[in-house]
Structure 1
């Protein structure tokens, strides 16, 4: 995915998706995908007085206790929510499940375990709330999320996006790692329907195999092999059922003719 905008109107062609569509870009069908090559201007720096005014306006709209607070040095702290929309399995220490989403995790397969690591699929609707500073960068947010979920994967495999509405469409824009999410939250206001942060795979157009460890690559191979066998089984089951119905129909026709 580029750093420009792209439509979220994407659907899988089938309910069952293989590891090809899970691990590699282009595995799912994208419909009405639009890209905006225009680069959004960097938000201008605010004076301490402007920051105070915006924080007061922000807090007046907050419907919960998640307020922003300005510090004496001019920085400020607050909360952001990040939606995890990861389609690839993540790697965590073997035998350990992240406590924050213990019940939501779906383990890939006992066969995918290594001596030290285990692969899991994180639920697509997982949401994590972070308390950060105005100096916290996108890179630090990604690292913090991985640490909270005890994910061992290279942070460079992930990217933080801002999801917003533009011209009646829901759009995603990849954020530079040096951006400050809390500043964007302050400028947009507390309404998450207008601006939402999303963690996704860092799609670069090609798979960067050097970023994966040997155990991760072995996991991918085992997952591919298992999914291939499952797909073959589904096809065989489908045509076995069709063959049985065909035989029953032919037998019924023969009985009528005799």
Structure 2
């Protein structure tokens, strides 16, 4: 398996594992202004579990799904009555993640000291090749592993969302649900269903859930942000001061 990822997309598989992968991401200490998004509505309380389909119904669904696919991300029915396919997951993370860099290119040995915390770009999307047996928990763990994230998987949750007019409806999926089954039922359209990885919101930040290296990385990020903001303000007011002094000198000259 080869996992190729750009800043906005990637590919990985839960069926096989290989050390060869590529990853590029921009480290940014500052949040960028977000584009105006459609209003979002949490439909968790309204969520009704889908009924299970029979084997023959599943086969028909897979055939119908493949007939409407406009890209190469088709599903396959295997002899063991397990079907495989692709899902895309948007990484909508607002807090920095901690990644562990490999000690050398192509190496499988990780350096426990070389950890870095940074904000993942908002447009990062990863494409996973999974089976109908894989659960939400499997998908979250696979995403973190492929991005070499060392944060606890319990800090993250997978959401499904879909559009009704201009409104976004979202629902947090439980660990045991099967994303590929949901993808099959909804069809290939992203408006009908998309998956989003987010931090597990508990109403407050549970600092005790973070390790000491993570907390230290957060402090370094905050210090960097504070230093950069101070330099920006200092430069701005030095410019204002220079303009004011120039204005005072010009007004003091006789006509």
TM-score (norm 1): 0.75
Q: Do residues 172 (structure 1) and 173 (structure 2) align? A: no
Aligned residue in 1 for 2:121: 123
Q: Do residues 74 (structure 1) and 81 (structure 2) align? A: yes
Q: 1:33 to 1:138 in 2, by over 3 A?
A: closer
Q: CA deviation at 1:186?
A: 0.3
Q: CA deviation at 1:33?
A: 5.9
Q: Do residues 55 (structure 1) and 62 (structure 2) align? A: yes
Aligned residue in 2 for 1:104: none
Q: 1:98 to 1:228 in 2, by over 3 A?
A: farther
8 A Cα contact 2:159 2:196, kept in partner:
yes
Q: CA deviation at 1:191?
A: 1.4
Aligned positions of 1:41-52 closer than 5 A: 41-52=48-59
Taking the aligned partners of 1:77 and 1:131, their CA distance within structure 2 comes to: 7
Residue 253 of structure 2 aligns to a residue whose secondary structure is helix
Residue 164 of structure 1 aligns to a residue whose secondary structure is strand
Taking the aligned partners of 1:150 and 1:236, their CA distance within structure 2 comes to: 38
After superposition, what is the alpha-carbon deviation per residue over 1:30-55, rounded to whole angstroms, capped at 9, x for unaligned? 99665556421011111112111111
Q: Which runs of 5+ in 1 are unaligned?
A: 1-16, 23-28, 100-112
Q: 2:223 aligns with which of 222, 225, 237?
A: 225
Taking the aligned partners of 2:54 and 2:105, their CA distance within structure 1 comes to: 40
Q: Do residues 193 (structure 1) and 200 (structure 2) align? A: no
Q: 1:132 aligns with which of 130, 133, 153?
A: 130
Residue 39 of structure 1 aligns to a residue whose secondary structure is coil
User: What is the number of residues matched between the two proteins?
Assistant: 221
Q: 1:237 to 1:127 in 2, by over 3 A?
A: same
8 A Cα contact 1:98 1:148, kept in partner:
no
TM-score (norm 2): 0.76
Q: 2:96 aligns with which of 79, 89, 96?
A: 89
Aligned residue in 1 for 2:159: 161
Q: CA deviation at 1:90?
A: 2.0
Q: 1:221 to 1:58 in 2, by over 3 A?
A: same
Taking the aligned partners of 1:215 and 1:85, their CA distance within structure 2 comes to: 23
After superposition, what is the alpha-carbon deviation per residue over 1:154-183, rounded to whole angstroms, capped at 9, x for unaligned? 111211112310232233322222211101
Q: CA deviation at 1:114?
A: 8.0
Residue 137 of structure 2 aligns to a residue whose secondary structure is helix
The structure with the largest helix share of the pair is 1
Aligned residue in 1 for 2:9: none
Q: Which runs of 5+ in 2 are unaligned?
A: 1-27
Q: 1:134 to 1:97 in 2, by over 3 A?
A: farther
